[in-house]
Chains A and B, each alone.
Chain A
Amino acid sequence: MTAAAPVSLRAITKRYGSTIALDGLDLDLQPGEVIGIAGPNGAGKSTLMRILAGEEHPDSGEILLDGAPWVPTSDWSRVAVVHQEPQLFLNLTVAENLMVGREGTSVARPRLDAANLELMRTMGIADVAHIVLSDCTLATQQRTEIARAVARNASIFLFDEPNSALTSDESDKLFREMHKLAQSGHIVALVTHRLGDLVAHCRRVAVVRDGQVRRILEGAELTGDGIARQLVTEQRAPASGDRTRQRTGEGESAFQVRDWTHRDGAFAQVSLSAQPGEILALMGVEGSGARELLRSLAGLERCTGQIEIGALRGDTALNGAAAFVPAARQHSLYSNLSVGENLLVRLGVPQIAGSALWLKRRQMQDLVADAIRRFLVKVRSPGQPVRSLSGGNQQKVAIAQALLCAPELLLLEEPTRGVDIHSKAEIYGLLRDYAAKGHAVVIFCTELLEVYEAADTVRVAAEGRLSSPLAVAAYDHVEHLASDVIRLEDAHRPGPAGQTG
């Protein structure tokens, strides 16, 4: 294996339209070490990865390889990205995957040579060489992806949330592989939300915020709490007056579930409730069951148990008492419809259509004008294509869509992902207004700061169980909330991550 030269990023800047993803970022990557990269959603981590992997050009700044200017877009084979979902040929066998793209010029069907066989043996995938990849476990698929990169002499390995869908046993093996790569002189970077993994496996951790490296933690500073503090400090402190701390009638809940058990085992025996006016946040890493729990309240997952939303129970409650806003805007917006049509798309009789199902076009115009004003959507005209809006305004349209059907319970997944700070504050305001009218709002969220700013109560999921509620108002500093949440997220997880708790 070839030893790698150090890579340096100098003043890298990247803009997407009016938003600045990277703002003069500097970072040095040394061969032989595992560097961790942490940051909240939208901090610029993924842009950084894409630029290193040669998928995008920076707008300005330079990348140096061993001191000389280097352009990853034209030298992409040097870099390997190990994704959460491997980007391979699922219809081919493991061995064939190793060969694709390196067949040479011979017309004969390529055969594995000794070097490749040896590589597969060291990666522990020789046994499954002739199994079609789609029948292999995710862990094997990731190994195949690493083997492919090693075979083409890649020297820079970027692990992008690699273990979020692995069992703890599998992720231990994956991390062993990662350390082997570093020891043999490759550059290895690990991007993950799991702070425990960063502490356990990295020598240095760079905290990326607002498109810059804010701090590089190493040695004694490198703890889960330390990273969490860096992730959330110096941000705008929430105005504590925003929060409605006293609520009407204890015990009277806007919704509640009991013995709530997921058919496919994502969570079991969960009890959950919220009072009118409460914003409840569910947190938890991927696979903890928090995301499935939120979706189950909208009737999108098959569950057993009792559910009550407002005055409705059981299936009637699941069919229409709650409105769900997914995290990805391509799952909530209709690109073939205008902004106005997008706002009204969830409505029916009697709001936008009369008895014969004729659309009430006059009322629709009024509703749209009203919604644009109420939900602070910045739009030139309601007839504008929805794609032409900024991310923040698209998200407001997505939330308005759900709020316009006046649900008893509003469910949001990552309510402000990819949204600028200004729109974020407006969105929190919209949620707060809605809750204040006596409804309950539940969000699934992976950003502590968002939870701290937006929620009243936090419940943390781990291994399909929920923690007892944490009252956000009881925390004077977001750092304290952060360390409690991280402790709870890691609570049931064995392996290296648990050691830091």
Chain B
Amino acid sequence: MTPTNPPDPPAPQPGRSGFAEAGQATFDVALRLGGLFGAIVLLAVVIVIAKPSSFNLDVGISVLRAMSSVAIMSLGLLLVIVVGEIDLSFGAVYGLCANVLAVLWIVHGVTIFAALPIAIASGALVGVFNGVLVTVFRIPSFIVTLGSYNLLYGLSLWMTRTSTFNPAYPPPGTEVPEAELDFFTGLTASVGSRPISLEVVWMIGLAVLVGLLLHRTLFGFRLMAVGGNPVAARLARLPVTRYKIMAFVLCGVLAAFAGILDFSFIQTVQPNSGLSATFPVFAAVIIGGASLSGGKGTVIGTMGGALLLAGLQQGLALLSPGPHVQQLFLGAVTIGAVALDLALSRIRNRRAS
């Protein structure tokens, strides 16, 4: 399409236009994040004005605690979405792993120090299952993980015989050693003068870890590339299959962490634990700016998305306008965030052309 060309292509313009172009990509991300965190601050201000008594640190801490398991799962989902796939099964993995732990530890008397790694490994195993079906057998990930969601929930029901477990009140005939119970509850114990659950510390630690993985390592760089253009990655002989499987495995492991930490904090687990987290986790990742077409997304954005959702949830619970309002907000915020994204990219494209 290029028969003629000016003999000398226009020389690059030094100076201002150059800088504007250079900063474009980061500027967009900053704008997107600025908008997100602006919305979070706005939400906080509105809640405090509506109910001044909510202006205290305890409310803030409870928001952080409430967001933590959703945030940990959304870190995993973020990796899968960045590589251009979908995972619907992490909510069921959350339940499965907590139940594996409960059944092994409480019913069969396996020591917690063996049961914990097994529970986390089962999350990884689900990731391998999903990843292999998606890459080797080329079944669309939506279908694979929709199937494994149901498979895992079925497994949880079968394994637990549909019962609820609480390690402090083990079923008759079984016993949980005191020391192991203390260790387990200690995973999410509250510490400090303003009691903060350790679950929040876990969340922050995992977010930093995944953030470094995604934004500072070769793994993350290639994950972005594979998600952005899987065809090019295959032609360049990048290990596409391995990266996709790894993303599913990490998603499974992070969901297992979330399930175990929540089990430790709440002290009970039932077969359907975690299933209802599926859509909020998706919303958090999408609100955080990740693109379902792959190759785009940040950890800080995802954490912001989870924080905004938890803030909405806790704030609306304080104001108690009725259960419908929270759902309405969740829907509006999800669509609004993506609409904003599209509007921004249209403005940018118009400016570029």
Cβ A21 vs Cβ B18 within 8 A:
no
From 320 to 357 in chain A, residues with beta carbon under 8 angstroms from any chain B beta carbon are 320, 323-324, 326, 330-338, 341, 345-346, 348-349, 352-353, 356-357
Does A19 belong to the interface (CB within 8 Å)?
yes
Residue of B5, B6, B222, B237 touching A298 (CB-CB under 8 A): B237
Residue tally, chain A, CB below 8 Å to B: 62
Judge whether B225 and A345 touch: CB under 8 Å: yes
Stretch at the interface among B50-58, B199-207, B212-220, B252-260: B212-220
Per-residue 0/1 for A13-42: is the Cβ within 8 Å of any B Cβ (1 yes, 0 no)? 000101111010000000000000000001
Residue in chain A with minimal CB distance to B296? A336
Q: Is the interface of A mostly helix, strand, loop or mixed?
A: loop
Name the interface residues of B13-71: CB closer than 8 Å to any CB of A.
13, 17-19, 21-26
| B235 lies within 8 A of A324 (CB) | yes
Q: What B residues does A167 contact at CB under 8 A?
A: none
Asked if A319 and B237 make an inter-chain contact with CB atoms under 8 angstroms apart, the answer reads yes
Interface residue stretch chosen among A68-76, A269-277, A415-423: A415-423
A185 to B218, CA, bound (A): 63
Do B3 and A20 have beta carbons less than 8 Å apart?
A: yes
B224 and A422 within 8 A (CB): no
Assuming the contacts A334-B225, A335-B229, A336-B295, asked whether A380 and B238 have C-beta atoms less than 8 A apart, the reply is: no
Q: A334-B232, A390-B9 are in contact. Are A420 and B2 (CB under 8 A)?
A: yes
Among the 9-residue stretches A190-198, A381-389, A458-466, A484-492, the one with 4 or more Cβ atoms under 8 Å from chain B is A381-389
Chain B residues touching A, range: 35 or more
State whether A353 touches B1 (Cβ < 8 A).
no
How many contacts between A and B, using CB within 8 angstroms? 152
| Residue with the greatest number of chain B CB neighbours at <10 A, chosen from A299, A337, A345 | A345
**Residues in chain B near residue A298, CB distance under 8 A:** 235, 237
Interface bits A218-237 vs B (CB < 8 Å: 1, else 0): 00000000000000000000
Whether A388 touches B2, Cβ cut-off 8 Å, given contacts A353-B217, A359-B218, A359-B221, is no
A18 touches B18 (CB 8 A): no
Contact check: which of A320, A383, A423 meets B237 at CB < 8 Å?
A320
Closest residue on chain A to residue B220 by CB atoms: A359
User: Are A18's CB and B9's CB within 8 A?
Assistant: yes
Cβ contacts under 8 Å, A501 to chain B: none
Distance between Cα atoms of A300 and B21 in the complex (Å) = 37
| Contacts beyond the supplied A390-B9, A422-B5: 9 A-B pairs with Cβ under 8 Å | A19-B5, A23-B4, A324-B236, A334-B224, A336-B294, A358-B216, A381-B19, A385-B24, A387-B352
Can you list 8 A-B contacts (CB < 8 A)? A19-B1, A298-B237, A332-B232, A336-B294, A359-B217, A383-B22, A383-B26, A420-B9
Write the residues of chain A forming the contact surface with B, with a CB cutoff of 8 angstroms.
16, 18-21, 23, 42-44, 46-47, 209-211, 298-300, 319-320, 323-324, 326, 330-338, 341, 345-346, 348-349, 352-353, 356-359, 378-381, 383-385, 387-388, 390-392, 401-402, 418-423
Partner-A contacts on B (CB < 8 A): 1-10, 12-13, 17-19, 21-26, 216-219, 221-222, 224-225, 227-229, 231-232, 235-238, 294-296, 352
User: What 5 pairs between A and B have smallest CB-CB spacing?
Assistant: A420-B5, A381-B22, A336-B228, A336-B295, A353-B218
